[in-house]
Amino acid sequence: MKKLARIIWYGLIFLQKTIMVIGGCVIAILIFVEVFLRYVLASPLFGVEELILFIAMWMYFLGASYGAYERTHIQAELLHLWFKNKRSYARVKSVACMITVFLSITMIKWSYPYFIWGITMGAKSQALLLPMVISQSAVFVGSVLMSIYFAAELIDYVLQGMGRKPFFVSNSEKDN
């Protein structure tokens, strides 16, 4: 069971990274093609900006969730200056992580109705007539992934606060 959970965990991370790399490459190619067609051939391609927006939405929210996984998301803290004891520091970080988990779950609560509304309304984009739920679902999926990774971080800090070894270790922490 533990092996299956590990395969799913790292498979999800691999999938996120793959989508982000492919999405970044596709956006770069689309921008190059659009600039070339517009300024060299004086014939712009219809709907490219719209397609870039759909891909960018997914890249933004998958990137945010990957930052939560890596624990490299933006933080403004000076706690390490006051708490020299690792256990005390971990306890204080646990409180901060609880707040973060609460906020990320609140984001799920807000994005889920938006996602369902996108499905039920069946809205289409103006140029390419793509279902708008494609980009709307990125907000919901990203929120769910961020909540999972923030919860894993919380579990690790609680364990460290109790003097135990963390269960989830991100790649950025393996290097330290």
**Residue-range domain boundaries for the chain:** 2-174
39-69 pLDDT tens trace: 888 888 888 999 999 999 999 999 999 999 9
Residue ranges of the chain with per-residue pLDDT less than 50:
175-176
Sign of the C-alpha dihedral computed for residues 158, 166, 73 and 83 taken in this order: positive
Sign of the C-alpha dihedral computed for residues 16, 152, 141 and 60 taken in this order: negative
Give the pLDDT confidence score for residue 81 in this predicted structure. Answer: 57
Burial class (CB in 10 A: 0-12, 13-18, 19+), 69: buried
Between the CA of residue 105 and those of 48, 98, 140, 147, 151, what are the distances in Å? 34, 11, 11, 6, 10
Give the pLDDT confidence score for residue 70 in this predicted structure. Answer: 92
Specify the pTM.
0.85
